[in-house]
Amino acid sequence: MEYLTYPEYLKLGFDETDKYDELYKRAEMTVNLYIHNFYAYKDFESDFKLRKEAVKNAIAYQIYYLDRSGIATAEEKQSLSSVTVGRTTVSYQSGSQSVSKGSQYNLSLDAENWLKVAGFGYSGVDYDR
């Protein structure tokens, strides 16, 4: 099962890339981690349109992010959170900024937002009285 084809990726307005197949696999793994392999037990093709479109958009944004940033893994992203040269340290995160759940998966913020629109990533408790 493929969430997004290359022609669909281009139709969404993203730039051409010669690394689509490689980037797609990484993007798919990252999105599957974030959504806890939801489509391992639910058929993607028979799912409702809005959720499918959100997943397609998330995959597309993740491919774009991987292509532009060059950061392929969560470890690489974490190691780039600060750089020290001599006595100078540059931190790319401030203490007051909240860290998104998707950052632990190396998921781009745009991809995470699309998945949140579809209901993925919710971790609240539903009380039924």
| Backbone torsions φ then ψ of 88, nearest 5 degrees | -105, 130
pLDDT of residue 70: 77
With 80 as the cut, is the pLDDT of residue 99 above it?
no
83-105 burial string, b = 16+ CB within 10 Å, else e?
eeeeeeeeeeeeeeeeeeebbeb
Which candidate, 103, 98, 90, places its Cα nearest to that of 34? 103
Average pLDDT over residues 62-88: 74
With 70 as the cut, is the pLDDT of residue 80 above it?
no
pLDDT in tens, 37-63: 999 999 999 999 999 999 999 999 999
Contact between 89 and 22 under an 8 Å Cβ cutoff? The reply is: no
pLDDT of residue 69: 83
With 60 as the cut, is the pLDDT of residue 2 above it?
yes
With 70 as the cut, is the pLDDT of residue 93 above it?
no
- Rounded to 10°, the helix 109-117/20-34 angle is 50
